[in-house]
Structure 1
Amino acid sequence: MTLPTAFAETTRFSMSSAEMRIRVLNLYRRYLRHSRNFVNNYDLDVPASQVKTKIRQEFERQRFVNDLAVQNVLYMKAQMEFQELVNFWKQQCHVMMYFEPFSSYDNTANDSFIDKFLKGAS
C-alpha cells in the first residue's frame, strides 16, 4: 500500500542551475526505478524498457530550457506527475497517451467527414 504523502514534495524553488540539475537527476532516477511498477500497476502493453525510453524522451524534450523559473515549474509538474503515477491516481488510458505519436492528435486535416465522425471529432 502506498501512502499518498510518501512521495509528496514540498514546493520549493531552486536558486541555482546546479541545484536544479541535482534535483532533476534525482527525479529522473526515481522515475526509472519505478518504471517496472508503472508497467505492472497500470497493466501496460509495453515493456519496462520502452517506458524507460519514453521517460528519457520526456526529460530530453525539456533539456535545453535555460530559464530557471521555467525549469522550476517544469520540475514541479514532473514531480506532481510522478506522485500521481506512483499513487495510482491515473487510469491506464491516461498513461497510454504518452505512447501515442503526436501526429495522431492532429490528423483530422486530411480525413473525410465520415472518418472525423467515427473518430468523434467535430
Structure 2
Amino acid sequence: MSLTGYDIDPAGARGVVNRVETQAEDLPTIRETAHGHMESLIEAAKMRAVTTALTSVWNDMLAVQAEAAEVRIANGNSGMRSAVTAFEDGDINMMEASHATMHQSPDLEIDDAMVVEDE
C-alpha cells in the first residue's frame, strides 16, 4: 500500500533509525566527559573573568546545543518510526502527525549548568 507523493523503503528506513539510535546512546557519556573537561579548565583558570567566560560558554552554548541535539535526534527517530508505520498503513493523518513530531522544537532542561563561585 502507498500514499501519493511518498516513496519509502520501510525496512531501509527502520535500519537507519536503528543505527542512529545506537549511535545516540553514546551522547550522554560524551556530554559528561565534555562537562568534566570544562570543569577542569575552569578550575585551572583561577581568574574570575576566565571562569565566568568558560562557565558562560558551557551554560549558554555547549550544554544547550548538546541537550537540543539529543532531543532533536529522539524527535526525529520517533517521527521517522511513526512515518514508516503510517506509510505501511496508508494513513495520511498519521503521516502528517509524524511529520509534525519530527519538526518539534526541543524542550530543554539543562541539568548540568555551571555556577561561578565567589572567591
> Does TM, normalized by the shorter one, top 0.5?
no
- TM bucket (normalised to shorter chain) is 0.3 to 0.5
User: What TM-score results when the alignment is normalised by the length of structure 1?
Assistant: 0.32
More helix by share: 2
Larger radius of gyration: 2
